[in-house]
């Protein structure tokens, strides 16, 4: 017969070892397993590849009969879709284990980023300054935070931290206002660490990845050399200028969207520090239009005219 709330309470309270199937009206394969007065749990029995398997659903003291039935019903639905719930659970746990193994605090990410980038610095002073500024200004604020959780609010906490006064005087103002150049460099270094962490996680920050320095892009000269090897005379700057001109003349997007799409710094340092959005949706729409424009061949009646600079070169 089917289990009831009263029967479950009685069986768990008695503590007599045994398995009790949720019969007619219940969920097929759901069982209450009593091991003693202090131990009882729910179990789902099912067959997969002609083998009987048992899947634990949780403690009978924490999970009500209704909740156990609902949970068992969901697993039965997975079985009907051809999914082995035990295999799925193992895969999810393994994925979680791998994610936890890859998780880094910002401090750990900064130190690894510094080590990865150190070979590319020609000046040891700059290399030391990179990590020392983070240790002084950033680690005390959110060094122990998961690097994936660092956002603009955390960066602003660094920039807006109060500086101690000198010789017993009152506070010396905020980091951003009192030491703006150092604060701006520190902000850039935070972004460098976050970029490195994102590259480590996803493997692709940039369109053209540097093979020499992880987390960075290839040099502009490399792209130019590839163009020349392909027999082309265009320049990277010319391509970017073309995009900018097209955006202004052929679209209604704000010039700021085009500037941000070109990775240009827009506004002064204070404006950039307080700009909390990345307008990713608008940038995506602009670039989608640009992609369609490039992929659309010119009409038969359109005439493309080569413009000549004063030095005689075509553009």
CB 172 within 8 A of CB 178: yes
Same domain, 62 and 10: yes
In a domain, 132, yes or no: yes
Domain that holds residue 121: 106-202
Report the length, in residues, of the chain: 315
In a domain, 177, yes or no: yes
Residue 213 pLDDT: 58
Assign 3-state DSSP to the chain and report helix, strand, coil percentages, each to 5: 55, 10, 35
289-298 long-range contacts, CB within 8 A, separation 24+: 289/251, 290/243, 290/246, 290/247, 293/246, 293/250
Neighbours of 227 (CB within 10 A): 15
| Residue that is written with structure tokens 């955006």 in the block | 247
Instruction: List the one residue out of 128, 134, 141, 264 whose CA is nearest residue 187.
Output: 134
Same domain, 96 and 123: no
Is the four-CA dihedral 36, 37, 41, 43 of positive or negative sign? positive
In a domain, 314, yes or no: no
In a domain, 306, yes or no: no
Residue 72 pLDDT: 92
Residue 170 pLDDT: 56
Same domain, 98 and 122: no
Tokens of 294: 């490039």
Residue 169 pLDDT: 56
CB 144 within 8 A of CB 107: yes
In a domain, 212, yes or no: no
List the beta strands (DSSP E) in the chain.
18-21, 30-36, 39-48, 51-59
Per-residue pLDDT of the chain (315 residues; tens, 9 = 90+): 788 999 999 999 999 999 999 877 678 899 999 999 899 999 999 998 889 999 999 999 999 999 999 999 989 988 888 888 888 888 888 777 766 666 789 999 999 889 888 777 777 888 889 999 999 999 999 999 988 888 888 999 999 998 876 655 555 688 998 899 999 999 999 988 888 887 665 544 766 766 665 556 677 677 888 888 888 888 888 888 999 999 999 899 888 889 888 878 777 666 666 666 667 888 889 999 999 998 888 776 666 666 555 555 555
In a domain, 302, yes or no: no
- Looking at the DSSP bridge assignments, the partners of residue 132 are none
DSSP 78-104: HHHTT--HHHHHHHHHHHHHHHHHH--
Domain count, the chain: 3
In a domain, 305, yes or no: no
* Cα 35 from Cα 54, distance rounded (Å): 16
H/E segment holding residue 231: none
Domain holding 170: CATH number? Answer: 1.10.150.130
CB 187 within 8 A of CB 179: no
Neighbouring residues of 142: CB distance < 8 A, sequence distance ≥ 6: 106, 150, 154, 157, 158
Residue 110 pLDDT: 92
Same domain, 193 and 249: no
């Amino acid at each position: 017969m089917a289990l009831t709330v009263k029967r479950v309470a009685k069986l768990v309270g008695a503590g007599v070892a045994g398995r009790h199937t949720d019969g007619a009206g219940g969920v097929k394969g759901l069982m209450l397993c009593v091991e003693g007065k202090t131990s009882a749990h729910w179990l789902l029995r099912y067959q997969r590849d002609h083998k009987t398997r048992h899947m634990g659903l949780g403690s009978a003291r924490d999970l009500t009969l209704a909740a156990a039935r609902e949970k068992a019903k969901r697993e039965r639905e997975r079985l009907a879709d051809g999914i082995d719930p035990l295999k799925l659970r193992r895969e999810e746990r393994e994925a979680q284990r791998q994610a936890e193994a890859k998780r880094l605090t910002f401090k750990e990410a900064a130190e690894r980023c510094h080590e990865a980038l150190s070979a590319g610095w020609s000046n040891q002073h700059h290399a030391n300054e990179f990590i020392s500024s983070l240790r002084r200004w950033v680690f005390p604020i959110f060094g122990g935070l998961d690097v994936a959780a660092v956002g603009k609010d955390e960066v602003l906490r660094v920039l807006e931290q109060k500086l101690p006064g000198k010789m017993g005087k009152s506070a010396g103002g905020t980091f951003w206002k009192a030491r703006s150049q150092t604060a701006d460099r520190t902000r850039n270094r935070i972004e460098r660490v976050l970029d490195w962490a994102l590259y480590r996680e996803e493997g692709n920050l940039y369109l053209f990845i540097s093979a020499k320095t992880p987390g960075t892009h290839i040099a502009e000269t490399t792209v130019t050399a590839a163009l020349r090897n392909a027999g082309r005379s265009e320049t990277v700057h010319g391509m970017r200028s073309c995009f900018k001109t097209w955006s202004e003349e052929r679209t209604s997007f704000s010039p700021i969207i085009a500037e941000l799409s070109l990775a240009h710094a827009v506004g002064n340092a204070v404006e950039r520090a307080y700009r909390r959005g990345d307008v990713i949706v608008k940038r995506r729409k602009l670039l989608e239009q640009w992609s369609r424009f490039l992929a659309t061949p010119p009409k038969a009646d359109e005439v493309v005219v080569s413009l000549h600079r004063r030095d005689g070169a075509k553009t």
